[in-house]
Structure 1
């Protein structure tokens, strides 16, 4: 009797393997054989599940977005009021708070891939725009006295600061220590009070 193939389980395993390879070797080290070795399977299974490297990258990028959204929704749901929700979500964005430098390495790898691949770039833009809309919604609720321009400007500043800190702190933890990042976030959040 033939074995039943659990496609979703295989995708999850290959996604985790892709993340591990990207974390360790970056985009240049991402190959089907490296992913297969990490996942403990054959390259044939990798290509059967994801016919191209790009398909594998797109799926892993979607997974990154899904995890980020779920994490932010959880943080927001725990907040007691609109201002706390905004501040808690903003504070949850830097990866140093979660010990998630691997996630940041993967994100930077996807950003590099997006430069040369319009589909991956579009996934990246969609993820960023979802963050902007979330911050705008939270800022508008927390600060109803702010104009639309104030809300939009704040969201862009939050995105730029958090994305920038997550990227540069990977390479220079001395200049961008957890304490320095915390102070930068606190200075940005002073605008909300």
Structure 2
């Protein structure tokens, strides 16, 4: 009797293995064989679902965006006020955990490698657009409408800078140091103890 395979689960496993390979080896180490080896299988395990690396990276992008929506909803449910939701989002944007660091290493390695040339740009545009959308929605109750875009820009650039610093020097950037930067920025922007804008 043939064994039942959950194809959606298998696709998630392949994507997780791809992210792990990117984090550990960068784009030069990314291949179907590397992903299959990480999973303990043959390359056909991967190519059955993703015939090209572009298809695989597209799925990494799609799964990331869906997963992020679920994670942000969960984080939002844990805060009672707009500032708490914003702080949770900013905490999520910096790699305060080992998993967060691995995901950011994979993202930066993918960006720096540009393995798919200009086509890779779509991945980063999608990720950045989604994150900016989260920031925008989390700021609407905290800052005047005319300040939202400027504040999104400052928060995005700062969190990206923290991410790069952590990836470059992981031993120097504890979760506490990362959050001190986030909290300092919120304070500088006048949001640290800000009531909603109503």
Aligned-pair CA distance for 1:179? 3.7
Q: Deviations over 1:143-193 (max 9, x none)?
A: 3xx242x11111111111112211221112355444432222112111213
Corresponding residue for residue 188 of structure 1: 185
Superposition CA RMSD, Å:
2.3
Distance 1:141 1:112 in 2: 36
Are the aligned partners of 1:114 and 1:124 in contact in 2 as well (CA < 8 Å)?
A: no
Corresponding residue for residue 149 of structure 2: 152
1:54 aligns with 2:54: yes
Equivalence map 1:71-150=2 (5 Å)? 71-97=71-97, 100-114=100-114, 116-143=116-143, 146-148=144-146, 150=147
Are the aligned partners of 2:54 and 2:116 in contact in 1 as well (CA < 8 Å)?
A: no
Are the structure 2 counterparts of residues 153 and 166 from structure 1 closer, same or farther at C-alpha, using a change threshold of 3 Å? same
**Aligned residue pairs: how many?**
190
Corresponding residue for residue 70 of structure 2: 70
Corresponding residue for residue 17 of structure 1: 17
Which structure 1 segments of 5+ residues have no match? none
Are the structure 2 counterparts of residues 58 and 112 from structure 1 closer, same or farther at C-alpha, using a change threshold of 3 Å? farther
Bigger share in helix: 1
* Greater mean alpha carbon deviation, residues 78-87 or residues 173-182: 173-182
Are the aligned partners of 1:136 and 1:151 in contact in 2 as well (CA < 8 Å)?
A: yes
Which structure 2 segments of 5+ residues have no match? none
Are the structure 2 counterparts of residues 155 and 97 from structure 1 closer, same or farther at C-alpha, using a change threshold of 3 Å? farther
Distance 2:121 2:102 in 1: 20
Distance 1:76 1:42 in 2: 40
Give the TM-score taking structure 1 as reference length: 0.85
Equivalence map 1:38-53=2 (5 Å)? 38-53=38-53
Distance 1:104 1:117 in 2: 20
Are the structure 2 counterparts of residues 152 and 114 from structure 1 closer, same or farther at C-alpha, using a change threshold of 3 Å? farther
- Secondary structure of the residue aligned to 1:95 is coil
